[in-house]
Amino acid sequence: MKIVTCILARGGSKGIPRKNIIDLNGKPLLSYTIGASINSNVNETWVSTEDAEIKKVALSYGAQVIDRPKELAEDFSRNEDSLLDFANHVDFDILVMIQATSPLLTAKYINIGLSKMLTGQYDSVFSVCREHWVPRWTLDIQPVSWSPYHRHHRQEVPEQFIENGAFYITSREALLESKLRYSGKMDVVEMPFSESLQVDNLDELKVISKLLK
């Protein structure tokens, strides 16, 4: 049973330029998820990138690198297309996709997900955190799925799981059949909110920097 990680890290991020290797407490952002993967029960840790500098960083922190075609690293490229490209070049039975923007992820949660997959009961497992109801508004100030005339009490609305984007685990068979990062019979790994934050903007980078100190 061969288990590999694929971390997708393109060079052309827009919200934070060069986001995947931006400095976070003295280390490039990408290094945190590489470390989480290497310390987990996966057999190989790979980074898929089209960028020469990201490739150099990935190799320096112990990952292997697959050169991603540039057409799969555009602003609106689907992650699944890069995973399928990866599957065409790297042999595996179980794939762990980790997002480089989740530096608070640790090997513990990856291993919990893998233990669920190795029971044979699931085709895919992914990370989530728990969310209680909060009133949400559109950017043009319209309530989303609620009314100010009938505002819920938080306790009245069931909690939900939301994807925290840290990792997705699937079998090779399920990926090739569905062409999706998750499919078939699924389960989740719940992570606390405090470890579920992602770096998508500079404010989040500042918050995470303080959490890592």
- Residue 97 and residue 92: Cα distance in Å, rounded? 12
Handedness of CA 163, 164, 170, 174 (dihedral sign): positive
130 catalytic? Reply is no
**Two tokens, residue 140:** 């043009």
The CA distance from 190 to 117, in Å, is 15
Residues 136, 151, 154, 172: which is the catalytic one? 151
Q: What pLDDT tens digit does each residue of the chain (213 aa) get?
A: 999 999 999 987 777 889 999 999 999 999 999 999 999 999 999 999 999 999 999 999 999 999 998 888 888 889 999 999 999 999 999 999 999 999 999 999 999 999 999 999 999 999 999 998 889 999 999 999 889 988 888 888 888 999 999 999 999 999 999 999 999 999 999 999 999 999 999 999 999 999 997
> Pairing between strand 124-131 and 160-171?
antiparallel
Can you say how many angstroms the Cα of residue 69 is from the centroid of all Cα atoms in its chain? Answer: 20
Select from 83, 52, 79, 48 the least CA-distant residue to 63.
48
Q: For domain 3-127+163-211, give the fold.
A: Spore Coat Polysaccharide Biosynthesis Protein SpsA; Chain A (3.90.550)
Query: Which pTM was predicted?
Result: 0.91
Judged by DSSP in three states, 84 sits in: helix
Of 52, 51, 186, the closest CA to residue 116 belongs to 186
Q: Name, in order, each residue with C-beta under 8 angstroms of 159's C-beta and a sequence gap of 6 or more.
A: 130, 131, 132, 133
Give me 173's structure tokens.
Answer: 């068979």
Q: What are the C-alpha distances in Å from 206 to residues 165, 176, 212? A: 19, 38, 10
